Amino acid sequence: MARVPHANGNPKLLRWLSGGRFYSHSPLPCSAGALEPGPRSPSLQVPDFRFRGDPEARLRLMAASMKQATGGVEETAAEEEPRVLEPGAAPFGNFPHYSRFHPPEQRLRLLPPELLRRLFPQSPETRPILGLDVGCNSGDLSVALYKHFLTLHDGETCSDASRELHLLCCDIDPVLVERAEKECPFPDGLTFITLDFMNHRTRKVLLSSFLSQFGCSVFDIGFCMSITMWIHLNHGDQGLWEFLAHLSSLCCYLLVEPQPWKCYRAAARRLRKLGLHDFDHFRSLAIRGDMANQIVQILTQDHGMELVCCFGNTSWDRSLLLFRAKQATETHPIPESLIEEGKERNRIRFWRQ
């Protein structure tokens, strides 16, 4: 039987982990609540941990290896090529070439290009639509989403694009963020930052700084694309629960692509195959099984969101789920045209309360 991790006195989480369901009638406010700092750390620098059992140390080792591979002594032509890490050596999902085996087009074909314009028809008149992309990797999907929602074709730029949509894209891996910054074709519309989203202090500082530029306390929409598993494996059941709590209070809408449980087993198997230390929480996770359904229940029953629609599944069997904060019902109603279109195509399933 899986060991239930410590819930630190949180009654909702304790109820969840003990097998019950907490039907909250007091959802988290759609405000800057998630920006309140947690336990303060002495500095913004990541402390120096030992390698064994510590994912931060594995990340630093990976980054150092990549730096050495790309900037080391050029003894042979083969050594001049950057070393491609084994998939299991990316304990946070920070694969160097993620889009090669999960291309953005698989997600884009499921999402209506006019989605944001329908959800926020008045936003460009006053300020751009603000989006948060958590776990952006090297920015390939971030750029693809930006082009898709603004209906921009390859090689085409729009001088007003940044006034329509601005994305803040964050990733834990500084090497990937640097690559995203260098290769981004829309620097005025996409901002890339290095951020461990689970670090309360840095999250508050960086997200508040971005939002304040537009006079806002929350994002219009958040993107969480194949990130939940890595949060879950590295921070446990409590970490996943808190991660979703932060996102739900930071975003009026939230698009989530959860990884199924088979991906958890595959990630753990890759680490063992490479002889690396297993994920600290994998064997003790109590939240498991149908992960899409588990995340739907956490967000809707515990964190004050409602499931608007499921856009379908990608070819690698991951659902695209759109949620909305219940407080946003009056200010951001679901467009009827979006609902009817989904019914006609028989591609989108809707749950309306």
Q: Alpha-carbon Rg of the chain, whole angstroms?
A: 20
What is the tens place of the pLDDT at every residue in 167-205?
Answer: 999 999 999 999 999 999 999 999 999 999 999 999 999
Distance CA 302, CA 246 (A): 12
Distance CA 8, CA 23 (A): 20
The predicted pLDDT at position 340 comes to 56
What percent of the chain stands above pLDDT 70? Answer: 63
Judged by DSSP in three states, 130 sits in strand
Alpha helices in the chain, H assignment, sequence order: 11-17, 55-71, 98-101, 105-108, 115-119, 123-126, 140-149, 161-164, 174-183, 200-212, 228-250, 261-273, 291-297, 336-345
Most confidently modeled range among 157-166, 255-264, 342-351: 255-264
Judged by DSSP in three states, 212 sits in helix
User: For residue 91, what pLDDT band results from cuts at 50, 70 and 90?
Assistant: confident
Res 237 pLDDT > 80: yes
Distance CA 13, CA 313 (A): 29
Q: Residue 351 in contact with residue 307, Cβ under 8 Å?
A: yes
Q: Residue 138 in contact with residue 101, Cβ under 8 Å?
A: no
What is the tens place of the pLDDT at every residue in 109-145?
Answer: 999 999 998 999 876 567 899 999 999 999 999 999 9
Where is pLDDT greater, at 88 or 187? 187
Res 107 pLDDT > 60: yes
The predicted pLDDT at position 347 comes to 43
Burial 87-114 (b: 16+ CB within 10 A, else e): bbbbbbbbbbebbeebebeebeebbbee
pTM (global) more than 0.85: no
Handedness of CA 174, 180, 182, 188 (dihedral sign): negative
